[in-house]
Amino acid sequence: MIGGDIIESIITIKDVSKIYRVGTEKVVALECINLEIPKGEICCILGTSGSGKSTLLNLMAGLERPTTGSIVIKGKNIEKMSENGLARFRQKNVGFIFQSYNLLPSLTALENVSLPLVFRGVSKKIRNQRAKKLLEQVGLGTRMNHKPNQMSGGQQQRVGIARAFVANPDIIFADEPTGNLDSKTTVEIMNLITNLARENNQTLIIVTHDVNIAKYADRIVYIFDGNIKKIEKTVKVEGEVI
């Protein structure tokens, strides 16, 4: 599947299906998914709305449980974990970037970024250091004490990115990260995310319906009607500016 390369895979999805019950009707969101994502890869899950791509992301993040099949992340079957176990698992291994940023409106940029460290029980001094560093990396060194409503969409998403990377997780999920942004900002944000991920050899999984976004990935997984239609490696042209 991974074109012959033997690389340690960080996520292994096997025979996963997800069926919702709406009243008496069954809605099949995912039919039978098999997918392996190697460590350090930037993987894009591309599909139209209703294709099941978001469901797949939720399953991988442990926000939902599959109807059948198994999801193994870093050697652990997450579909068998308790809710608290999943919370701790996300704390340690997963970062999130949302389409609508999902910053806490009452907290400053710095506090928002350090939130994942708060849940880990990291002391204030250390988490502020770490959060500052990340905010500087995303170019918001001067806006640390701004509240989300004092920032533009692009700036808010930078805060969101800093928050996703602050705990240095192995996997980062980005759900339509540029869905609410204009095209110029989209480019900036995408470059920022992919660069950060590559710097630390982190696995980045981007879910989108936007083909342009998919170009930033190493691999594109096409999802259609709850099935993987095809998996395709992107061809990187040296010096190409997207």
Partner 1 sequence: MNSIDVISMGLRNMWRRKTRTILTVLGVIIGTSSIVIMLSLGIAMNENFKKEVESMGSLNIIEVSRNYGMREGGSTKEVKLDDKAIAKIGAIEGVEAVTPLEFTYWKFGAGKYVGHVSVIGIDTKVMDKFNFEIEEGRLLDESDTNAVVFGSYIPEMFYNPKSSYYYDSSSSVKLISDKLIMTMNMDYGERRSRQSSSNTEKLPEYKVKGVGILKQSAGETDYNAYMNIKYLKKIQEESNRARSRNSRGWDYGESSSDSYNNAMVKVKDINNVKEVQEKIKDMGFNAFSLTDILESMQKTSASIQAILGGIGAVSLLVAALGITNTMIMSIYERTREIGVMKVLGAELGSIRRLFLFEAGLIGFMGGILGIGFSLAVSLILNKAGLSLGNFFGYMGEGSKVSVIPLWLMLASVAFATLIGLVSGYYPARRAMKLSALEAIKTE
User: Which positions touch partner 1 (CB under 8 A)?
Assistant: 58, 61, 63-64, 83-84, 87-92, 94, 96, 98-100, 102, 104, 106, 115-116, 118-121, 124, 163
Looking at the Cβ atoms of 138 and 219, the one nearer to partner 1 is 138
CB of 1 to partner 1, least distance (A): 28
Q: Could you tell me the two tokens for 35?
A: 């997918």
CB of 118 to partner 1, least distance (A): 5
Q: How far is CA 35 from CA 109, 114, 136, 200, in A?
A: 36, 32, 35, 23
Looking at the Cβ atoms of 167 and 219, the one nearer to partner 1 is 167
* Residues 184, 194: Cα–Cα separation, whole Å: 16
CB of 43 to partner 1, least distance (A): 20
Looking at the Cβ atoms of 9 and 58, the one nearer to partner 1 is 58
Partnered with residue 33 across adjacent β-strands are: 16
Specify the 3-state DSSP secondary structure of 111: helix
Give every strand in the sheet of 9-22, ordered side by side: 25-38, 9-22, 68-73, 76-77
Looking at the Cβ atoms of 36 and 98, the one nearer to partner 1 is 98
Looking at the Cβ atoms of 24 and 84, the one nearer to partner 1 is 84
* Cβ(39)–Cβ(201) below 8 Å: yes
Helices (H) and strands (E) in the chain, counts: 7, 10
CB of 80 to partner 1, least distance (A): 17
* Cβ(48)–Cβ(209) below 8 Å: yes
CB of 160 to partner 1, least distance (A): 10
